[in-house]
A and B are shown apart, each in its own frame.
Chain A
Amino acid sequence: MWRRAGARLHLAGAATGAGRSVRRRPPPPIPSAPSSSASYSPPSRHSNGVFWGSVGAPCRRLSNQPSGGGGGGACWSCGATGAFLSCGACGSVQPVDPAVDYFQIFGLKREYNIQGNNLEGKYKDWQKKLHPDLVHSKSEKERGFAAEQSALVIDAYRTLSNPLSRALYLLKLEGIHVDEEKTINDPELLMEMMEMREAVSDASDSQTLEKIQSQIKGKLETWSASFQEAYDKKDFERAVEATQRMRYYERAVEETVKKL
């Protein structure tokens, strides 16, 4: 299982404040791999640099890792190992590795509940390393890598921040493709949505709208929990059903937001 590397994702420069270029120091020597994955525990936070070398080692050891390449390979520029998105040794932006999934980018376990993981902070840290604006002076090749990696990280951040898109992404990773074009005729759900949308469109003052909005958000929460349960049990049929409900409620919330 992908180790919760979040605590160690402290990318250099985050603490140095905006505007200053990231200082790069060579990473500490890669610790010798522990004999069993169960005994591996993340070291405490360091402020001196990137740890991708060390993170890379355990990941590559776990060859039956379903999530594929996430440890990072050798840097194209300096050859240092463990270059994940960008090289810890020389700072060069790496080409996009299609085997890397969004959870790996943020050092998260592949699960639905990702609260308390400082997604936004990590996202900003990544952009400080990968953003195309920071590689003006680099080669065209590297600028190309930066554009792609940066875009990938943006997609990853957006997908993981929103519960519905995160849920759908998880299902996608499991190989479940939801045929969204198929019409549904669940009378109970549709009647409820009809009434809900009518209520929103009839609502004339912000107080009523806010009340409706919080009701809908409550339902979203319920079905979000339902998705969590179904997903954990690998009951994908119910998981898909939950995402459909969530879509309907999100749409309704959008309408209230528009009116407010």
Chain B
Amino acid sequence: MMLRAAGKRLLGAAPGGVGGGEAALAAAVTAARRGYHERVVEHYNNPRNVGAFDKDDADVGTGIVGAPACGDVMKLQIRVDEPSGRIVDARFKTFGCGSAIASSSVATEWVKGKQMEEVVAIKNTEIAKHLSLPPVKLHCSMLAEDAIKAAAKDYEAKKGKLAKSDE
């Protein structure tokens, strides 16, 4: 349960800052017992890109997905450089298990600097492999893949609408 507590502190804009050394060590011990891969623990303790963009920004795409099995919610946002079509920044907010948080964290790392066509090709199996997710947690990586696609779709839809209104 130490792992969960650490996550709760770190999810969203944690005022206390990202977990310190002691917490990380304790969490690592718990994780080792539970069998979480060290990459999952790492992402859990030091999640990259937690936060949010203004979803109304023209260059932001927001994808929000859920897993009914566990009641998880995952929000992934991308900021796109319009002329080049390149994703310049990403943020995520996930309420769920360690694997779900780690999957979305990895997703935000991987989409940065890529083109839209590239990111929609990111497969959940790649994320799962990177995190050594056990079979029972595969759906967490699927959630991340779906979140990326949803964010891309949202951005494209927004762009389309704006283009129409300019005509």
Contacts of A194 in B (CB 8 A): 64, 73, 75, 93, 95
- Which of B12, B69, B142, B143 is most buried by chain A, counting CB atoms within 10 A of its CB? B69
Contacts of B17 in A (CB 8 A): none
Q: Chain A's interface: helix, strand, loop or mixed, by majority?
A: helix
Q: Is the CB of A197 within 8 A of B95?
A: yes
- Return the contact of A180 from the options B4, B69, B146 (Cβ within 8 A): B69
Q: Is the CB of B66 within 8 A of A183?
A: yes
Residue of A nearest to B70 (CB): A251
Q: Is the CB of B8 within 8 A of A185?
A: no
A187 in the interface (beta carbon within 8 A): yes
- Return the contact of B73 from the options A178, A190, A202 (Cβ within 8 A): A190
Contacts of B150 in A (CB 8 A): 185
Residues of A in contact, count (CB < 8 Å): 26
| Bound complex: CA A198 to CA B72 (Å) | 13
Contacts of B8 in A (CB 8 A): 201
Q: Is the CB of A193 within 8 A of B69?
A: no
Contacts of B73 in A (CB 8 A): 190, 193-194, 197, 248
| Bound complex: CA A184 to CA B142 (Å) | 11
Residues of B in contact, count (CB < 8 Å): 22
Interface residues of B (CB under 8 A from A): 4, 8, 11-12, 64-73, 75, 93, 95, 139, 142-143, 146, 150
From 184 to 214 in chain A, residues with beta carbon under 8 angstroms from any chain B beta carbon are 184-187, 189-191, 193-194, 197-198, 201-202
Closest 3 CB pairs of A and B: A251-B71, A180-B69, A197-B95
Q: Is the CB of A248 within 8 A of B143?
A: no
Chain B nearest CB, measured from A225 CB (Å): 20
Q: Given A183-B142, A183-B146, A185-B146: A247 and B71 within 8 A (CB)?
A: yes
- Return the contact of B11 from the options A178, A184, A201 (Cβ within 8 A): A201
From 145 to 191 in chain A, residues with beta carbon under 8 angstroms from any chain B beta carbon are 178, 180-187, 189-191
The contact sample of 14 A-B pairs, CB cut-off 8 A, is A181-B69, A183-B66, A184-B68, A185-B64, A185-B66, A189-B66, A190-B66, A193-B71, A202-B12, A244-B68, A247-B69, A247-B71, A250-B71, A255-B95
| Bound complex: CA A252 to CA B143 (Å) | 19
